[in-house]
Amino acid sequence: MTLSVQTVAVIGSGIMGAGIAEVAASQGHPVLVYDIDAGAIARAIEGIRSRLASRVARGKLSAEASEKTLSRLTPVTDIQALAAADLVIEAASERMEVKKALFAQLAEICPPQTLLTSNTSSISITAIAAGVLHPERVAGLHFFNPAPVMKLVEVVSGLATSNEVVEQLCDLAIRWGKQPVRCQSTPGFIVNRVARPYYAEAWRALEEQVAAPQDLDAALREGAGFPMGPLELTDMIGQDVNFAVTCSVFNAFWQERRFLPSLMQQELVLGGRLGKKSGQGVYNWRSDKPTVGWYEAVSDGDSAGYSEKRSDGVTKIDDLLLIDTQGETAQALAARYACPVVVIDRLEGDVAVIASADSNPDSATRKAVHYLQQRGKRVLQVADYPGLIIWRTLAMIINEALDALQKGVAREEDIDTAMRLGVNYPRGPLAWGEQLGWQRVLILLENLQRHYGEERYRPSSLLRQRALLESSYES
């Protein structure tokens, strides 16, 4: 089946189809842009023309290169014309029945050596290939939006996909300036599976009235280094799109609780509050965003003259305990230790999220805030919530990545690369787990599972293994 890919066909002229067509054409390939609607193809090509013109105006592209790219695009409304393609990339409707019928038709039209790929973000490649002639040539080739900019491509194998086809597609992606990652066909593949907790834990915190949306977003954006907070990100993606992917993954995993969709997000979708594109979502995009509730500076007089003792994630200040979160509430810890407790959620940055036990006097919280501010921390106070925001979210992402690794979805390096390049995480989740400590991640999840009594927070068996190895090295 080895062949040199020359002519590329792209099915679908929406945002993703147009973006993929632009990528292929800019790399020198003749590109057949297929859609049943000729007007849609014309609009897609005009959009490409506009983007290229913008790059020319900014000095990022020569006028000659722009014209050559556009000259390689051929509109096609007769599917029989795709017989000339060496590679077909389908970027049409995200509906299984549509894809199956389309690929069965392509298999009849195209020669056996033509590579047939889908840009689907979550539909099974195995299912798409079932019943197709020569199913070994069917694979996923999942680009990320905007395709001309984003480096990541998930190359997805179904049960029948040949290794040779995967290698060909990976080599092609590299020649196109992309970074391919290999993965098996499983709901959500790598990125849309491992990223689910980033959204899910934010929705849960919002539903439990832990903090205002802007505070939850600030905690993860400024406290953990994510480029956008999860709630503002769902507004940018579109609440309808993000909710649909969550539902798809949830149902594909037989209603696994850790993928449970949010009723609050469903309400936004039902109400037409789809995010930035509709002007209203979690945030009102027609006005300024609300202010983050950073704690005001606490004066020296509130906390002067205290004694301090630190050990193993616990700082004792007079009769107050500052405890790094391990998944228990401040109130549970205050009852255990019979003293005021403030729980802290922090990484290595300058942000500390705190929760105070309800039984604490106000002076204890102010003392904790002063202590943290004196050490250069910006402080956000949220409701007393097990695991708080940063650590809880990271633990769930790490746990999901480990589950995907253990089940053979992808290699460790591909999972970390996918999350860094596909959704711009500051670190790959498995590298993050190594840095933060497997034991602490395990303890936090066990405490969350104990608190809620839910399978949602069940630690993966691979996390338990890594925690045991870590403890044996330490001993």
The set of catalytic residues is 121, 142, 154, 192
End-to-end CA distance of the chain: 53
User: Which token pair is 278?
Assistant: 């509709």
Task: Give φ, ψ of 96 to 5 degrees.
Answer: -55, -45
Handedness of CA 71, 75, 80, 85 (dihedral sign): positive
User: Which token pair is 395?
Assistant: 């633990």
- Contact of 90 with 103, CB cutoff 8 Å: yes
Long-range contacts of 107-113 (CB under 8 A, 24+ apart): 107/132, 107/133, 107/134, 108/133, 109/79, 109/80, 109/82, 109/83, 110/82, 110/83, 110/85, 111/83, 112/1, 112/137, 113/1, 113/3, 113/86, 113/137
Q: How far apart are CA 143 and CA 172, in angstroms?
A: 13
Q: How far apart are CA 416 and CA 152, in angstroms?
A: 12
Q: How far apart are CA 219 and CA 393, in angstroms?
A: 11
Q: How far apart are CA 169 and CA 155, in angstroms?
A: 7
Q: How far apart are CA 58 and CA 380, in angstroms?
A: 41
Q: Considering only CA atoms, which of 115, 123, 125 is closest in space to residue 88?
A: 115
